[in-house]
Amino acid sequence: MNVPIIAPSVLAADFANLARDVEMINQSEADWIHIDIMDGVFVPNFSMGIPVVEAIRRHAKKFLDVHLMIVNPEHHVEAFQRAGAENISVHIEVCRNMHRNIQQIRSLGCTVGIALNPHTPVTLLEDVIQDVDVVCVMSVNPGFGAQTFIPHTFAKVRQLREMIAASSSKAKIEIDGGVNLSNIHELLEAGADILVAGNFIFSSPDPKAVISQLKTVQ
């Protein structure tokens, strides 16, 4: 198993002390900072926007992974790139022309992620898997933090890993939702590369220690 990329989700951070929590991530063994953008349309919740991404960018020393849970993402990706996004993930469920979305994000100099809701089959990625850098597999229903991990995710990751290998794609598999020490080993065995964790990290009395534990599990 490869050493995973750990991406704390600031959706679970203390927004009144966001700079403090971003600095904690800077000082930790985390690799990325995961930022969830919700529009209240695609998912039943609102979260963050371009000014918050800009504020995080001013303090962050880690790679910014921006996950757009929004409709019409093509109208907004350029603004998020200017705000500091380095990877931008959009949902396959809202992209009517996936190739165009991929080309748009890559033209901005960002790496490209495609996200899938729990009910969305990985087979829908067959025609684009060679063109993307990250596949973000939602392991909870999107819209809220602190949800329970959906066990079918393990089979989905294994299927996706087979598809990536068969197509010689370089895409990395990202797991978003409910990641903790009880499922990380099986996720890595199934083929996951990037692990997003929010509440599990930020609800701990020692978030840096939890990040270290996630980083070193084998």
Nearest to 133 by CA among 71, 89, 79, 177: 89
131 is catalytic: no
- Active-site entry in 65, 133, 176, 193: 176
Q: Percent of the chain having pLDDT more than 70?
A: 97
Token pair listed for 201: 């990290």
Residue 214 pLDDT > 80, yes or no?
yes
Q: Provide the residue type at 204 as one letter.
A: S
Residue 50, exposed/middle/buried by CB under 10 A (0-12, 13-18, 19+)?
middle
What is the overall mean pLDDT for the chain? 94
Tell me, what CATH number does 156's domain have?
3.20.20.70
Transcribe 60-91 into DSSP letters: --SEEEEEEESSSGGGTHHHHHHHT-SEEEEE
Q: In what order do the strands lie in the sheet with 172-176?
A: 5-8, 194-197, 172-176, 134-138, 111-116, 87-91, 63-69, 32-39, 46-47
Whole-angstrom distance, CA of residue 159 vs CA of residue 7: 23
pLDDT digits (tens, 9 = 90+) for 54-110: 999 999 999 999 999 999 999 999 999 999 999 999 999 999 999 999 999 999 999
- Active-site entry in 31, 36, 65, 133: 36
Residue 218 pLDDT > 70, yes or no?
no
Which range is least confidently modeled, 4-8, 47-51, 75-79, 83-87? 47-51
36 is catalytic: yes
The whole-model pTM stands at: 0.95
pLDDT digits (tens, 9 = 90+) for 26-36: 999 999 999 99
Please state the domain count of the chain.
1
For residue 45, name the pLDDT band (cuts at 50, 70, 90).
confident
pLDDT digits (tens, 9 = 90+) for 134-167: 999 999 987 565 568 999 999 999 999 999 999 9
CA 64 to chain centre: 10
For residue 184, name the pLDDT band (cuts at 50, 70, 90).
very high
Domain membership of residue 164 as a residue range:
5-216
Nearest to 175 by CA among 10, 9, 27, 2: 9
Look-up of token digits 């910014």: 64
